[in-house]
A and B are shown apart, each in its own frame.
Chain A
Amino acid sequence: MSPATVLSRSVVRPFYRANAGTFIFFLTLMLFAVGHLNGAGPVKYHLALILGMLDNYLFLLLVMFCWYLYVRRVEGFVLQRIRRPDYEFLSILNTISYQRKISMLLSMQLLLLPIVSLYGLLIIGVAVKHQYFVQAGIVLGFLFFFHIRPAMVYSSAISGETTYAGLFNRLISRISWVNTTYTGIHIQFIMRKLPGPLVAIKCFTCGLLYLAARNNLPPDYEVQLLFLFFITGVVAHSILIIQMTEFSYAHLEQMRAGPISLVRRWMRTALLLLILLIPELLTIVVLLPVRLHPADGLSFVLASVSSLTFIASVAGVQHFNKRQFLSFSFLILTGWFIATMTGTIDIVSVVLLSASLMLYLKYGYNYEYTSE
């Protein structure tokens, strides 16, 4: 049996068996759920849909994002299979050349994503015919990414690597600072181990802030609701902070025993959080000065930095399980809601920032990590 047949039987077939219902549902939706009302059939319907995507970049990117989520789901299914002990026989693929292995996995990915590939090619065809060359290039780029990246991820999993470092991570890991400083190592940890939650939180915070503020123009300028949306996304960073803290205690213990003062430790954490907040800060800058007044922008920045430093300080002095931490995050959100209603956002920010520093200075050495 050839390696290609092995892949087809062990991965592709189980995938279709597991997802047959979903496929039938989507095919029905795409081909038969479109009636012939006013003379328009499925072909005209899809042509109109594609032209709509090509006319509007936001719509096109939204579709690509949805496809990306689907590709990640497929990737998750395949990885789960590959990493199963009874799938260890796939290590036979490590005996062939890398190029041959990748081309086989690429073919497998094509078999796993026929609808995405065919519909993508259809969009490119329509785009070229109607002279939307940039959009055609974008879709082609995404199609390439949807196939080549998972193939590389599978190859790395078959080789026995526990995590896959994407191109971006490989590039940034070449910067010495990223590998030899506390801040850099934690940034790498988040990007390598928590890319999903990071992207979701950034999309939520920055996307929601931008979309909500887009029409926030005088005389209907309103900042309270905008702030509540924004701070909800900021507090959601606690998911990243708790994982970062656990990583730090478990994997950097020898470094934690080093001669670093608590002030320096707190400042390193604050710098790390500031870097983590760069997308939010950029979104705020884009919205200045009309959609978000400079003073309000400053309040947003202060509130986000103080919230995260406070959460990090609490996580650094007291061990919480995930449920307790969720309750704690809700408590902070409630506090921000009261501050918004009473117009005391800046005061609460200053209080949180000071409390964060004092808490860490007083109890920073008292934390005892226990893995759950």
Chain B
Amino acid sequence: MLLLQNVRKYYDRREILSIASLTLENDIYVVKGENGSGKSTLLKMIAGLIPFQGEIRIDGVDLKAAPVAYRGAVGWSAAEPLFPDFLTGKEIIAFYNGLRRKNGSGHNELIELLHMTEFIDQKTGTYSSGMLKKLSLILAFTAQPKLLVLDEPFITLDDHAIDQVNRLIIRMHEDQKSFVLMSTHQGTVGLPSFRKLRIHDHQISTES
């Protein structure tokens, strides 16, 4: 369960988000809202990347009180990810696994699923934006977190990759009981079922 309590975010004293209370049960959520409504800001706050006022908890673990445990439970993928251009995809995965102390080879299946096998040994400086996005998603899924936070996971992806990412999201949710929070501008989301969150006028509301 993800709990947001009295969460507020300001930029230059301008209120961006104001959430008095929001409780999300284990499910797949898609955050919708206009450009600049604060979708990415909300996701970054939940991923622990930017400061905010208030409380965010996942299964009782408070982001501010137990930052390491909280971050261990969250996997993150940015809308427009950047990586050091002098490292290969494989080296970045090794670095990420080292940080999360993961020794498994779960990423190999993801590399294959997203058709990254022939590029994974190349430097990311040679990657297209779609390939950078795939690498970022591989890292997020490899973490096998309780909460998967994906900012615009489908932009720049080809049709095959979009389909595979949808399948992976469903698999993570069903098999590992992860819950997924993502934003997308895509008109249709290829998921059989999901719940909508809408950000409007700095407030967030759930839609059926």
CB B86 to nearest CB in A, in angstroms, measures 6
On whether the beta carbons of B49 and A185 are closer than 8 Å, the reply is: no
On whether the beta carbons of A257 and B95 are closer than 8 Å, the reply is: no
Alpha-carbon gap, A254 to B51, bound state (A):
16
Alpha-carbon gap, A51 to B71, bound state (A):
66
A38 — which chain B residues lie within 8 A by C-beta?
none
B71 — which chain A residues lie within 8 A by C-beta?
257-260
On whether the beta carbons of A253 and B125 are closer than 8 Å, the reply is: no
Partner of A253 from the list B81, B85, B87 (CB cut-off 8 Å) is B81
List 10 additional A-B contacts (Cβ < 8 Å) besides A254-B76, A257-B71.
Answer: A169-B86, A176-B94, A179-B91, A182-B99, A188-B86, A251-B82, A256-B49, A257-B48, A260-B68, A260-B71
What 1/0 flags go to A239-258 for Cβ under 8 Å of B? Answer: 00000000100111111111
CB A318 to nearest CB in B, in angstroms, measures 12
B131 — which chain A residues lie within 8 A by C-beta?
none
- Say if the beta carbon of A365 comes within 8 Å of chain B: yes
CB B73 to nearest CB in A, in angstroms, measures 8
Alpha-carbon gap, A215 to B108, bound state (A):
61
What total count of A-B pairs have CB within 8 Å?
Answer: 87
A180-B91, A259-B68 known; A250 and B86 CB under 8 Å? no
A253-B82, A257-B49 known; A180 and B95 CB under 8 Å? yes
- Say if the beta carbon of B140 comes within 8 Å of chain A: yes
Chain B interface SS verdict (over half) = mixed
8 cross-chain pairs, A with B, having the tightest CB-CB distances, nearest first: A259-B72, A179-B91, A259-B71, A258-B99, A257-B76, A366-B51, A180-B94, A180-B95
A163 — which chain B residues lie within 8 A by C-beta?
85-86, 125
B91 — which chain A residues lie within 8 A by C-beta?
179-180
- Say if the beta carbon of A90 comes within 8 Å of chain B: no
- Say if the beta carbon of A165 comes within 8 Å of chain B: yes
What 1/0 flags go to A147-165 for Cβ under 8 Å of B? Answer: 0000000000000011101
A259-B68, A259-B71 known; A254 and B84 CB under 8 Å? no
Partner of B50 from the list A188, A252, A255, A368 (CB cut-off 8 Å) is A368
A256-B49, A368-B50, A368-B51 known; A250 and B82 CB under 8 Å? yes
B51 — which chain A residues lie within 8 A by C-beta?
365-368
Partner of B96 from the list A161, A250, A258 (CB cut-off 8 Å) is A258
Range, interface on chain B: 35 or more
Alpha-carbon gap, A259 to B69, bound state (A):
7
- Say if the beta carbon of A46 comes within 8 Å of chain B: no
On whether the beta carbons of A251 and B47 are closer than 8 Å, the reply is: no
On whether the beta carbons of B85 and A255 are closer than 8 Å, the reply is: no
On whether the beta carbons of A259 and B100 are closer than 8 Å, the reply is: yes
- Say if the beta carbon of A8 comes within 8 Å of chain B: no
What 1/0 flags go to A168-202 for Cβ under 8 Å of B? Answer: 01000100100111100100110010000000000
Alpha-carbon gap, A366 to B50, bound state (A):
6
Alpha-carbon gap, A253 to B140, bound state (A):
12
Alpha-carbon gap, A215 to B154, bound state (A):
66
- Say if the beta carbon of B183 comes within 8 Å of chain A: no
Partner of A192 from the list B86, B88, B94 (CB cut-off 8 Å) is B86
A163-B86, A179-B87, A259-B69 known; A254 and B96 CB under 8 Å? yes
On whether the beta carbons of A255 and B99 are closer than 8 Å, the reply is: yes
A256 — which chain B residues lie within 8 A by C-beta?
49
**Pairs across A and B, CB under 8 Å, 10 listed:** A180-B95, A251-B83, A253-B78, A254-B77, A255-B96, A257-B49, A258-B100, A365-B48, A366-B51, A367-B51
CB B52 to nearest CB in A, in angstroms, measures 10
What 1/0 flags go to B107-151 for Cβ under 8 Å of A? Answer: 000000000000000000100000000001001100000000000
Alpha-carbon gap, A128 to B132, bound state (A):
55
A28 — which chain B residues lie within 8 A by C-beta?
none
- Say if the beta carbon of A80 comes within 8 Å of chain B: no
Q: List the B residue with the shortest CB-CB distance to A193.
A: B86
On whether the beta carbons of A161 and B125 are closer than 8 Å, the reply is: yes
On whether the beta carbons of A260 and B99 are closer than 8 Å, the reply is: yes
CB A192 to nearest CB in B, in angstroms, measures 6
A179-B91, A258-B100 known; A188 and B84 CB under 8 Å? yes
- Say if the beta carbon of A261 comes within 8 Å of chain B: yes
What 1/0 flags go to B55-84 for Cβ under 8 Å of A? Answer: 000000000100111111010111001111
On whether the beta carbons of A255 and B125 are closer than 8 Å, the reply is: no
CB B178 to nearest CB in A, in angstroms, measures 16
What 1/0 flags go to A257-280 for Cβ under 8 Å of B? Answer: 111111000000000000000000
B49 — which chain A residues lie within 8 A by C-beta?
253, 256-257
On whether the beta carbons of A254 and B81 are closer than 8 Å, the reply is: yes
On whether the beta carbons of B85 and A179 are closer than 8 Å, the reply is: no
- Say if the beta carbon of B98 comes within 8 Å of chain A: yes
Partner of B140 from the list A250, A252, A254 (CB cut-off 8 Å) is A254
A185-B87, A188-B84 known; A179 and B67 CB under 8 Å? no
Alpha-carbon gap, A143 to B99, bound state (A):
45
A252 — which chain B residues lie within 8 A by C-beta?
83-84
Partner of B84 from the list A251, A259, A260, A365 (CB cut-off 8 Å) is A251
A261 — which chain B residues lie within 8 A by C-beta?
67-68
Alpha-carbon gap, A261 to B66, bound state (A):
10
Alpha-carbon gap, A261 to B72, bound state (A):
11
Most chain B CB neighbours (cut-off 10 Å) among A161, A176, A253 = A253
Alpha-carbon gap, A176 to B68, bound state (A):
26
